[in-house]
Amino acid sequence: MEDKKARKILVVDDEKDTVEMITALLELEGYQVLSAFSGKEALKLLETESPKDPELETPVDLILLDILLGDADGRDICLKIKEDEKLKFIPVIILTVRSSLQDKINSLNLGADDYLTKPFINEELVAKVRVMLRIKDLHDELRREKGKNILLTQALEKRYSYGNILGKNTRMQEIYDLISDIANTDSTVLIQGESGTGKELIARAIHFNSHRKKKPFVVANCSAYSQYLLESELFGHEKGAFTGAIRRKIGRFEMANGGTIFLDEIGEVSPPTQILLLRVLQDHRFERVGGEETLEVDVRVIAATNKNLMDEMKKGTFREDLYYRLNVIPIFVPPLRDRKDDIPLLASNFLQKFNQERGKEIVGFSTEVMEIFFKHSWPGNVRELENVIDHAIIVAKQDKILPRDLPQSILQTAISTQELSTLQDYERGIILKTLKETNWNKHKTSKILNINRSTLYGKMKRYGLEKEQN
């Protein structure tokens, strides 16, 4: 149901009786009515009525405007309203005693949204008001969606600006500089690095800092499909091209037209598909699977792989000509173990991110945790660090991340790195430390360690843990 009480309607007419009649009629319908008896008064009222959100709201929801005012021509007032950036989205219904078609056309040409001839039938006025308010609702919704899209675009541009690829390590700084140099070119880029190093993030940074940033950024994971499905995914297919092709499908190269396509895991592409990719890179042309029409696209290609493509060429699994087409601008992303000086910065960033997502207020990491982070080899790289911190924030009971909050796999690595003799030695130390922190309260200790009390008693007995007697 329409929320009429939230609707604010301005009636502008120099005839007091007309204003009072319209006001009474609209108030009976549940609308809030403001009145003005001159053009000057109407404009002043619109200036003083401040909406909560000037970007998306208007001072009033609708204006009923008489065309013959004592101090002004209503058409001039209508024109001023429609030329004002803050007021132009308010629908205006012109009230006129002139019924000629030309007068009505002139009113609409000035920006009025509708007109009503005096004297009018009450039901006709109410009907026009309802229609105009519904139209305004649709326009407001479109403006809100447009605003969301603008904010989303701005957020994406900020998220993928190369300044937000975190790292102060010298090698990362070199990548920032390279992104700055190549972003506005159309050169093909090949990003190489281990899984989890942030290759897609770099690809997005290149796109969102380029002249193509308003166009699509399309991702194609080449390892997710078999040869024939990948060809369909990349180039599309025609109806009936193969069993199950019940309609034409647009491929990712077409989707990316004008923008950038990111070919992730390019090293997994089969030799036949490599030939098709080579042609697209050379002349930007291709055919859909099962189609005869040659399509031409304007796309920038960024590829990524965690494989050594030089080795793949030696094996004969990757075409040499395709490699050199892709490797116009190479970017090598270092693994996290080779830039451990970035760990505190990355960890702090992930802590802030997951605090917001999980509704937590963890303030930092204990010294022991940071030591573990520095000594871990991080085979999963930045992605692994991100997952570890997410896990720790979920299970953390205090305002700092402690070793017991980390996944067991990280703790086991830390044990071997710290050269503790056995897992039992490390476990004994954790239990003893927790017992001391809880003043040997076994209930609290078992809760913190996430084990039941009988298990705790058994481990205390095995490790000979007893509270010292004063």
One fold for 162-334 and 352-463: no
Give me the residue spans of the domains in the chain. Answer: 4-150, 162-334, 352-463
Residue in 83, 12, 5, 93 with CA at minimum distance from that of residue 45: 12
Superfamily of domain 4-150: Response regulator (3.40.50.2300)
Contact 289, 241 (CB under 8 A): yes
**Strand 236-237 to strand 329-332: parallel, antiparallel, or no bridges (unpaired)?**
unpaired
302-357 pLDDT, tens per residue? 999 999 999 999 999 999 999 999 999 999 999 999 999 889 888 988 998 899 99
Neighbours of 359 (CB within 10 A): 8
Bin 323: left if φ > 0, else alpha if -120 < ψ < 50, else beta. Answer: alpha
Q: What is the pLDDT of residue 50?
A: 64
Query: Which residue in 125, 146, 123, 143 sits closest to 135, CA to CA?
Result: 143
Tell me the average confidence (pLDDT) per consecutive run of 10 residues in the chain, 470 residues long: 66 90 90 90 84 67 87 82 83 79 60 81 89 81 62 48 65 87 94 93 90 92 89 91 86 94 95 94 93 94 95 94 95 93 88 90 90 90 94 92 89 58 69 88 86 85 76
pLDDT at 1: 41
CATH number of 352-463: 1.10.8.60
Q: For 172-221, write each residue's pLDDT tens digit.
A: 888 888 988 999 999 999 999 999 998 998 999 899 889 998 899 999 99
Residue 157: predicted pLDDT: 46
Residue 55's pLDDT is 57
Tell me, what's the pLDDT at 270? 93
CA distances 176 to 81, 164, 241, 346, Å, are 48, 10, 44, 16
Distances (CA, A) of 293 to 201, 230, 285, 421: 35, 19, 10, 69
| Distance, first Cα to last Cα, the chain | 75
Q: How many whole angstroms separate alpha carbon 404 and alpha carbon 435?
A: 13
Contacts of 466 (CB under 8 A, 6+ apart): 460
| Residue 119: per-residue pLDDT | 83
CA–CA–CA angle 6, 7, 8 (5° rounding): 115
Give the per-residue pLDDT at 99. Answer: 60
Q: Which of 3.40.50.300, 3.20.20.100, 3.40.250.10, 3.40.47.10 is the CATH number of 162-334?
A: 3.40.50.300
